[in-house]
Amino acid sequence: MKKIILFVLTLILAACNGISKYDQNLAKWQAADISHYRFQLFIGCFCPFAEDMPLTIEVQDGEIVSLTRADGSLVEANDPSLETYESYATMDRLFRELESNLSGEADEVIVTYDPNYGFPVSIAIDQIKEAIDDELSLQVSKFEILE
């Protein structure tokens, strides 16, 4: 109980000191120190790979162990979408994408975070508010810690 009260007080003080939700959740993710995990990622955009979603991604020590399409097939090294998939394929990369867009790169960014571990669960990015077809949506689901 004392740990919960201390954690809540820390969050309240952080909010009063101007620390952003991004910073709070990044710190929560880093403090969790999770080195091996798996999750599903849905990348929503005006892109040709919609049938591959969601991807199932396994990460260990910050490196991608595997990328699997919705149909269960592995994403191979010669896949034309691999570079796009890899750019969002770890929690650290999702935080980097979020940070660059929150710092003014995008006109609008809407994000929700996992309450337990702090990683982004839902990111909606609109680069140019008046433009069509420039939106990006990233959805994280089925997160699990692996041993």
Question: 98, 141, 99: which is closest to 121 by C-alpha?
Answer: 141
Question: 42, 78, 40: which is closest to 59 by C-alpha?
Answer: 40
What's the pLDDT score for residue 2?
Answer: 53
CB neighbours (10 Å) of residue 27?
14
Taking a C-beta distance cutoff of 8 angstroms, is the pair 118, 24 a contact? yes
Radius of gyration of the CA atoms of the chain, in A: 17
pLDDT tens digits, residue range 45-98?
Answer: 877 788 999 999 999 999 999 999 999 999 999 999 999 999 999 999 999 999
- Rounded to 5 degrees, φ, ψ at 128 are -130, 115
Q: How confident is the model at residue 121 (pLDDT cuts 50, 70, 90)?
A: very high
Taking a C-beta distance cutoff of 8 angstroms, is the pair 114, 143 a contact? yes
Taking a C-beta distance cutoff of 8 angstroms, is the pair 43, 24 a contact? no
- Rounded to 5 degrees, φ, ψ at 25 are -75, -35
One CATH from 1.10.10, 2.60.40, 2.40.10, 2.50.20 for 2-145: 2.50.20
Q: What is the DSSP letter of 74?
A: B
What's the pLDDT score for residue 103?
Answer: 82
Domain boundaries, the chain: 2-145
Stretch 107-114: mean pLDDT: 93
What's the pLDDT score for residue 104?
Answer: 78
CA 58 from chain centre, in angstroms, equals 13
pLDDT of residue 6 exceeding 50:
no
